[in-house]
Amino acid sequence: MRVVIAEDSVILREGMVELLTARGCQVIATAGNAEELLDAVAADPPNVVIVDIRMPPTHTDEGIRAAVRLRADHPQVGVLVFSQHAEPAWAARLLADNASGVGYLLKERVSATSDFIDALRRVVAGGVALDPDIVSRMLNGRRSLLERLTTREREVLDLMAQGHSNRSIASLLVITERAVEKHAAAVFTKFDLPPTETDNRRVKAVVAYLQEIRP
């Protein structure tokens, strides 16, 4: 897995380099600001970019804006936002046109290195990895669509949006995988997502209720 890290804190940046290298990842470039990130990706596109939201010079939203631009210019590159700031509107922007290969994790909520590496792998594989708090905030205000779902269907959809597999969802909700499949199928039906040979309905289901709250 080839990675570019964009983090203005030298200590955090070097710490991530050591962590990822120890786990078998190849960090091909690091960046201390958004411009350096864009240049690095343009010069040698990685499998995935790890980027903070607030970077120099203003420390407001340079990082997340660069991430949105990367999604448009390099759609094959996965983007994992790793920040201490929860910005659900920007998460929705990242997911707006194509929800595959996107992640958004909060630094203080990642308690295990293995969880972080798993999230990176999901993003590289074209999946989604969202912090539960981000999902919860993004879902506020989407009552019209969510009212179609039962409580259990909502729980399954929340975990799908966080990138969990059916097996993981079954374990977390203490139900069978077959039950998860039935609830997911009900979500697809209520969201008018018929089965096809090529479309990923899990991604479409997530996008269906996340993209409408973009700024």
User: CATH number for the domain including 153?
Assistant: 1.10.10.10
pLDDT class for 154, splitting at 50, 70, 90? Answer: confident
Q: Please check whether residues 77 and 181 belong to one and the same domain.
A: no
In a domain, 136, yes or no: no
Buried b / exposed e over 117-139, threshold 16 CB at 10 Å, is: bebbbbbbeebbbbbeebbebbb
As a whole number of angstroms, the longest Cα–Cα distance in the chain is 51
Task: Please report how the helices 177-190 and 151-161 are oriented relative to each other, as an axis angle in degrees rounded to 10.
Answer: 90
Question: Is residue 207 scored above 90 in pLDDT?
Answer: no
**Token reading at 213:** 């709250």
pLDDT digits (tens, 9 = 90+) for 10-19: 999 999 999 9
Name beta bridge partners: 4. Answer: 29, 49
Write down which residue in 131, 166, 200 finishes a domain: 131
pLDDT digits (tens, 9 = 90+) for 38-48: 999 999 999 99
CB 147 within 8 A of CB 27: no
pLDDT digits (tens, 9 = 90+) for 157-193: 888 888 888 999 999 999 999 999 999 988 888 887 7
Q: How far apart are CA 125 and CA 187, in angstroms?
A: 23
Q: Which domain holds residue 184?
A: 141-215
pLDDT digits (tens, 9 = 90+) for 27-67: 999 999 999 999 999 999 999 999 998 888 888 888 988 99
For 98, other C-beta atoms within 10 Å of its C-beta total: 15
Q: How far apart are CA 174 and CA 168, in angstroms?
A: 10
What pLDDT is recorded for position 213? Answer: 38
Q: How far apart are CA 130 and CA 65, in angstroms?
A: 18
What one-character-per-residue DSSP string does 161-189 give? HTT--HHHHHHHHTS-HHHHHHHHHHHHH
Tally of structural domains, the chain: 2
Number of H helices and E strands in the chain, helices first, is 11, 6
Q: Please check whether residues 2 and 106 belong to one and the same domain.
A: yes
Q: How far apart are CA 102 and CA 207, in angstroms?
A: 12
In a domain, 209, yes or no: yes
> Could you tell me which residues come within 8 angstroms of residue 174 by beta carbon, excluding any fewer than 6 positions away?
none
Per the rule left: phi > 0, alpha: psi between -120 and 50, beta: everything else, 163 is left
Higher pLDDT pick, 165 / 5 = 5
Q: Please check whether residues 123 and 152 belong to one and the same domain.
A: no
Higher pLDDT pick, 90 / 187 = 187
Write down which residue in 100, 131, 162 finishes a domain: 131
